[in-house]
Amino acid sequence: MSTKMTLDQFTKMPVDEQTNYLWDNGICLGQRMFQNQYIVCIFSIDNFFVEARYSKNNNGVDAILPLRDVMEWEAYVDRNVRQLIYLS
């Protein structure tokens, strides 16, 4: 039986290890283009969420940011819902 990764364990790993863990264990819930330079994806991993920023310029993940609390998650969802409404 495997144990689940915690957010604290995840944030202590180097970005390349975080990236590998994302690809192997995460579920991409959505993505968006940011400033026409980055693809930003939100991932569900075990029992937490992170936002991964993929740079089109250097062809790799250059930041992984945790969403630590419900208010941060709700702000993320609200921002994306507003963008979808604006586009439709």
SS (H, E, C) 55-68: ECCCCEEEEEEEEC
Mean pLDDT value across residues 1-28: 88
pLDDT above 90: percentage of residues in the chain: 27
Strand partners, 28: 43
* Residue found under tokens 């026409």: 36
User: Strand 60-67 vs strand 48-55: parallel, antiparallel, or unpaired?
Assistant: antiparallel
φ, ψ for residue 33 (rounded to 5)?
Answer: -90, 140
Tell me: pLDDT of 72 over 60: no
Q: What's the pTM?
A: 0.72
Tens-digit pLDDT profile for residues 21-47: 999 999 988 888 888 888 888 898 888
